[in-house]
Chain A
């Protein structure tokens, strides 16, 4: 009964409670469901990338399958800076969304002047509460996140996933 209750409340019973389809915390990253799978493959290789338009030169973030400036489909993957400075931040004990560890530290980052992205809201990991200060330098960190099953014809395939955050440069 306890097991049934747990599966009923926190997960999707048909998936043995492995993930909550409506509230999956992470993107569907695999090529079967996402044309931007290259972004995640690049993360696996330690690269933080996005799409640049070969027609107008615009670098967009997040990446896309068209350029949001001129709607061209001629895009290439380019690297983004992996270090930035903390402009301001917040440490949340009570308000972290379900599934995120507490305290949840989120920071508003400022990138160098010549960076195609000026700012980004990110999660800060490998950092204890009270440790982070405004002006601190942080760097990209990539980690594994829970995988999910997909159905390919009559087979079930497991898709591994990664995601990224930033950590203090010590």
Chain B
């Protein structure tokens, strides 16, 4: 691609994640305010593009053309792009991929990528009222496939059977992520820590998952600024964080098209990662710190394998080795991940990427040691699609 400049992530902010007494729009305003606090020189009039990422848009899942509404609430008057993305759990990392393309092609200069979800509604049943619409409606949803726990429980059972993964190994993921999240005031479960005993004795949600194996539904919003390096230098004196490479791979919408030999193999993630590594000119061993999609503990284990951080089948042993911790081989989900921060679908990707921006600028709460390369990953829906974004302190030349 002809490139006019390099796209960078300048900074950003999030609302408090949790069960919020606030509307979706309140939270987007909170995230934008936090973003502006993080980049004091940023003015609303500097922003020429807006990508709004939301799956359900609060109580009105049939809401349409919501990006202009967000622009109005934030006082933006976009001139390059103003649209919404509905890529479910990967919404705002998808926004970052598009923002990179828009900035590097010269179509946009400063893009606000903001994601938000309002999951808690007046009655409990309302939250999942539209859940059948998140899968292939006529084929899988009509079988009863709704929100993920049962599907990922089958994935976990399969991984345990084929590779000997244990509940104890899965608990290492929840313990690591809760403990990281206990230092993040924006996390849903801040300041909760978790012990192995608590994790293993938790109430069963869907065999083999206990309560702490699952991320919660969460209200929240996030916002990051993606800009050309020239515009970023005008706004911030912090080290630049380049979006080096990206990949997004979809292989199927319904279960009959599942690409793996079994549910325990995710070749579509492996492919998305390969594309991102190639574009970023790095290999898995170069990645110093990562934010991966820990919707369930088993997901993080399989992601370690398919991202190439360990051999296939050894994800359980890898997460139990202490590799995820600060001072370990490769700190993972250092802000608490989905498990502690919670998962407001459209907001999660930008929350992850903001943490990596802070890591590469040396200002994270749980700071990894001198990281040069960082990776963000999301899966969407019933593991139908994978999204990978790789950041670095130097651009790809």
- Most chain A C-beta atoms within 10 Å of own C-beta, residue among B132, B151, B258: B132
Q: Contacts A22-B130, A87-B158 hold; do A121 and B147 have CB atoms under 8 A apart?
A: no
Residues of A within 8 A of B255 (CB): 108, 119-121
Interface locus among A11-19, A70-78, A93-101, A148-156: A93-101
Which of chain B's residues have a CB closer than 8 A to the CB of A121?
140, 143, 145, 151, 254-255
The residues of B that contact A123 with a CB separation of less than 8 Å are: 143-144
Tell whether A46 is near chain B: CB-to-CB under 8 Å: no
Bitwise interface map of B from 157 to 196 toward A, beta carbon under 8 Å scored 1, else 0: 1100100000000000000000000000000000000000
Residues in chain B near residue A96, CB distance under 8 A? 144, 146
A23, CB-defined interface residue at 8 Å: yes
What is the distance, in angstroms, from A50's C-beta to the closest C-beta of chain B? Answer: 9
- Bound CA span A120–B138, Å: 14
**In-complex Cβ contact of A163 among B128, B133, B142, B157 (8 A):** B142
Neighbouring A residues of B154 by C-beta, 8 Å: 88-90, 106, 108
Q: How far is the CA of A121 from the CA of B136 in the complex (A)?
A: 12
B86 at the interface (CB under 8 A from A): no
Q: A25-B141, A26-B142, A108-B263 are in contact. Are A119 and B153 (CB under 8 A)?
A: no
Interface string of A120-138 (1 = CB under 8 A from B): 1111000000000000000
Q: Are A95 and B147 in contact (CB under 8 A)?
A: yes
Closest A-chain residue to B129, C-beta based?
A: A23
Across the interface, do A92 and B143 meet the contact criterion of CB distance under 8 Å? no
Task: Say whether, besides A90-B206, A90-B207, A106 and B130 are in contact (CB < 8 Å).
Answer: no
- Is A22 in contact with B61, judged by CB distance below 8 angstroms? yes
Q: Which of B62, B128, B138, B205 contacts A98 (CB 8 A)?
A: B128
A100 to B150 CA separation, bound complex (whole angstroms): 14
B residues near A119, Cβ cutoff 8 Å: 255-256, 258
C-alpha gap A39/B362 in the complex (Å) = 58
Chain A: CB-nearest residue to B132 = A97
- Which A16-33 residues have a C-beta within 8 angstroms of B? 22-23, 25-27
B142 smallest CB distance to A (angstroms): 5
* Contact indicator B62/A27 (Cβ below 8 Å): no
Residue ranges of B at the interface with A (Cβ–Cβ < 8 Å)? 61-62, 125, 128-133, 136-147, 149-151, 153-154, 157-158, 161, 205-207, 254-258, 262-263
Q: List 14 A-B contacts (CB under 8 A).
A: A22-B133, A62-B136, A62-B138, A87-B262, A92-B206, A95-B147, A95-B150, A97-B128, A97-B141, A97-B146, A97-B147, A108-B154, A119-B258, A123-B143
